Amino acid sequence: MADKKIPYKIYLEESEMPRAWYNLRADMKNKPAPLLNPATMKPMTAEDLSVVFCEELVKQELDETNAYYEIPEEIRDFYKMYRPSPLVRAYCLEEKLQTPAKIYYKFEGNNTSGSHKLNSAIAQAYYAKKQGLVGVTTETGAGQWGTALSMACSYFGLDCKVYMVKCSYEQKPHRREVMRTYGASVTPSPSMETSVGRKILAEHPGTTGSLGCAISEAVEKATNTEGYRYVLGSVLNQVMLHQSVIGLETKIALDKYDIKPDIIIGCAGGGSNLGGLIAPFMGEKIRGEADYRIIAVEPSSCPSLTRGVYAYDYCDTGMVCPLAKMYTLGSGFIPAANHAGGLRYHGMSSTLSQLYDDKLMEAVSVAQTEVFAAAEQFARVEGILPAPESSHAIKIAIDEAMRCKETGEEKTIVFGLTGTGYFDMYAYEKFHDGKMENYVPTDEELAVALAKLPKVEG
Ligand SMILES: *Cc1c(COP(=O)(O)O)cnc(C)c1O
């Protein structure tokens, strides 16, 4: 059945690795809407943004004309330690499914942080160091971003303060210890350390926290501490720019064997891995050079694309951050604590939101028990224990492969396998014990947070 001329793993030589990141916005006909200053409701200027972010990253954030950014040599050298990441032909999964589809996955879990997040963490730490900063603050949900950033900061000798969503802090004590191994300080959020944390605790005593809330705390800490800036691991344009290395490597590897994907699938939390994976392919699609089906997969418990609205919203619960126009569930939306699979952010990257609104991309949502069933199926044949987040993409890749089995079509499916799930065994345990529940918010519940969207023209 399978065409064995294509190797199980397509590697690239160091000399074939991308030397520049690709900025998809340069090729977009409808540009994503600008970030707005919450005080004035006017577009954020570089000056506004540089209070919070490093200067070079502000430049990248606002740039919608330059298609390529040379990757600094220090970052390329760091990338060489764990990149190129393998592009794997899932022969074993194809065999198990008895599908005529050809399945490939780009595996980003082959570094200590266990996910794609290191691709942007090392870039952000590099620019912070270059600017002469003492350290950075950030938030982390499931812990992968905090881990990646801790590694990157220790590499460049920067201090790193992480606000970790409280329910993850409690469910994943080992994640916390990995971050501390790299010298980061980790605080459960909401905390009493910041005024926004104290306010949220007063309003919602006993809350298990949310990403939006941890972001507010990290931003407050950065802007109140000399020599610090805030960094974010997803959602922002700069993060998607760095993550384009995933898609660029994928494309180079596929081109080596003349492989043209029909369907490209990725999980979507804030949108960084999906945005990075699809970037060069979406560029071709927008320029009319090729066509692909591109599918974003999100959890049914936090369905920003499939059930949210496209509107300006705050990026954080404390409403201290700029507003972004995005598909959102409302910044006050807090996903159920029993949702184990990550991807808990209330909004979606403004770039992906615009592409979705322009119908250049599809989106589906899946329930967490289906996700874990797919994860287990994959783990048993492909020899990788996938992260729950990544398994959203696995679920839809398997569904598409099974559709090919019915129709006899030999489609080529590429999906992003963003990371490993060794710190998610508590969730796997719940699944194995039959104790995992699918929590899907009702329309009424969604309406509560959506009613609080800020009123903004446009
Ligand atoms: C953070 C994370 C995601 C989701 O974030 P995106 O910005 O949407 O990519 C997915 N998978 C893993 C393993 C992650 O750590």
Query: pLDDT tens, 267-311?
Result: 999 999 999 999 999 999 999 999 999 999 999 999 999 999 999
**With bands split at pLDDT 50, 70 and 90, how would you rate the model's confidence at 171?**
confident
Task: Identify the pLDDT of residue 115.
Answer: 97
Average pLDDT, the chain: 95
Task: Identify the pLDDT of residue 317.
Answer: 76
Domain at 9-17+83-114+243-450, CATH class? alpha beta
Domain at 20-70+117-230, CATH class? alpha beta
Task: List, for residues 80-111, the tens digit of each pLDDT value.
Answer: 999 999 999 999 999 999 999 999 999 999 99
**With bands split at pLDDT 50, 70 and 90, how would you rate the model's confidence at 3?**
low
Question: CATH 3.40.50.1100 in the chain, residues?
Answer: 9-17+83-114+243-450, 20-70+117-230
Distance CA 312, CA 321 (A): 12
Does the pLDDT value for residue 1 go beyond 70? no
Q: Could you give the strand order of the β-sheet that contains 9-10, starting from the edge strand earlier in sequence? A: 9-10, 87-89, 102-107, 412-417, 263-267, 293-299, 362-366
Task: Identify the pLDDT of residue 4.
Answer: 57
Report the pLDDT averaged over residues 15-36: 97
Task: List, for residues 340-363, the tens digit of each pLDDT value.
Answer: 777 888 999 999 999 999 999 999
Distance CA 288, CA 267 (A): 25
Report the pLDDT averaged over residues 37-66: 95
Q: Which of 117, 138, 241, 345 to mutate to test the pocket of ligand 1 (most atoms within 8 A of CB)?
A: 117
Distance CA 121, CA 35 (A): 22
Ligand 1 atom having least distance to the Cα of 390: 11
User: What's the CA-to-centroid distance between 268 and ligand 1, angstroms?
Assistant: 7
User: What's the CA-to-centroid distance between 267 and ligand 1, angstroms?
Assistant: 7
Does the pLDDT value for residue 229 go beyond 90? yes
Task: Identify the pLDDT of residue 458.
Answer: 54
User: What's the CA-to-centroid distance between 387 and ligand 1, angstroms?
Assistant: 9
Amino acid identity, position 394: I
Task: Identify the pLDDT of residue 321.
Answer: 83
Ligand 1 atom having least distance to the Cα of 243: 9
Ligand 1 atom having least distance to the Cα of 269: 8
Ligand 1 atom having least distance to the Cα of 109: 13
Q: Is the CB of 302 under 6 A from ligand 1?
A: no
Name the percent of the chain lying above pLDDT 70.
Answer: 98
**pLDDT higher for 252 or 331?**
252
Task: Identify the pLDDT of residue 112.
Answer: 87
Q: Is the CB of 270 under 6 A from ligand 1?
A: yes
User: What's the CA-to-centroid distance between 343 and ligand 1, angstroms?
Assistant: 7
Does the pLDDT value for residue 9 go beyond 90? yes
Task: Identify the pLDDT of residue 212.
Answer: 82
> 281: which strand partners?
none
Q: Is the CB of 387 under 6 A from ligand 1?
A: yes
Q: Specify whether the backbone of 143 is left (phi greater than 0), alpha (psi in -120 to 50) or beta.
A: left
Task: List, for residues 110-124, the tens digit of each pLDDT value.
Answer: 998 999 999 999 999
User: What's the CA-to-centroid distance between 311 and ligand 1, angstroms?
Assistant: 23
Task: Identify the pLDDT of residue 371.
Answer: 97
Q: Is the CB of 147 under 6 A from ligand 1?
A: no
